[in-house]
Amino acid sequence: MQGTSARPARWVGLMAVAVAVLITQGCASLMSSAASGLADNLSAAVLNQNDPETVRDGAPAYLLLLDSFLEGSPEDPALLSAVANLYATYGTVFADDPDRASRLTARARDYSTRALCNSYKPSCNWSGMLFGDYQGTLAGLTDKHADVVFSHGLASLAYIRAHSADYAAIALLPYSEALFERYLEINDGTDDGAIHTYLGILNTLIPPALGGKPEKGREHFERAISLSGGTDLSAKVEYANGYARLLYERELHDRLLTEVLAADPEVPGSTLLNVLAQRQAVELLESADDYF
């Protein structure tokens, strides 16, 4: 497995990709009945922000707002998913204290589990279920479950990241991979690039000798890059940090990160993600001589 020094930046990139879906799917759908224009404008403002610290400082107020909604509708799947998405993203990207990240992501996973259970009853029995039995329950998920499925997958990955020293959390990885594979089958295709990035990371978390599937991961990374036309810089960073570092391919690693730094991050709908990706690229290039 890769050294712990590489893991935090890697998971930040993973969750950065989720910011887009967090706002546009979770919170926008939540707010649609009352203030869809506000939600849409908030989505655009966040995704076009070139200063991540502004988002970091503003997100807690939004967390409290969503929590207040949840007080009135504690079992609403759309609301639970929206709150889970924001807690998962904030807990992974902006919570520097490990104990705080652990609390926030555990809360996110709890919310997402409740959302899915309230929408799809077979999922209520997933905890402790054997993987083969779990796979058998996924076929019943349809497009109407897409939002809660995404939320649970995202929250589970955030939880795994924050509890990476816990083997029980690591054991959840194949379950998350299978869930995201099913999501690709039932979603409308608008966020396929992000999901392929997730799957690329999941398949390159561990080396081949321990069960990793780096070539499958490479295919997912390249698919994610292709779907964005190369404008999703996060996919390139994850490709370099996951596949290239795992297999010690220095030339590929440096080429991908150099491309990221040479790109214009100001892309409508992706500026925040790209700025975060470029920060990671700088860190990875600076540590490359020590790593390879």
Instruction: State how many domains the chain has.
Output: 1
In a domain, 187, yes or no: yes
Residue whose tokens read 């969503």: 66
251, two tokens: 């030339």
CA 277 to chain centre: 14
In a domain, 34, yes or no: yes
For residues 89 and 252, the model is more confident at: 252
Is the Cβ–Cβ distance between 131 and 164 less than 8 Å? no
Give the helix/strand (H/E) hosting 160.
helix 146-162
Report the alpha-carbon angle 62-67-145, nearest 5. Answer: 95
In a domain, 224, yes or no: yes
DSSP 111-130: HHHHHHHHH-GGGGG-TT--
* Lowest-confidence segment of 143-147, 230-234, 258-262, 267-271 by average pLDDT: 267-271
Closest to 240 (Cα-Cα) out of 270, 193, 208, 200: 200
Tens of pLDDT, residue by residue over 4-16, are 334 444 454 545 5
Tens of pLDDT, residue by residue over 166-178, are 888 888 989 999 9
In a domain, 259, yes or no: yes
CATH number at residue 221: 1.25.40.920
- Quote the domain boundaries for residue 14: 7-291
User: Is pLDDT at 218 greater than 90 in this prediction?
Assistant: yes
| pLDDT for position 8 | 42
In a domain, 1, yes or no: no
In a domain, 255, yes or no: yes
In a domain, 203, yes or no: yes
SS3 104: helix
In a domain, 2, yes or no: no
| 3-state SS track over 23-45 | HHHHHHHHHHHHHHHHHHHHHHH
Q: Is the pTM higher than 0.85?
A: no
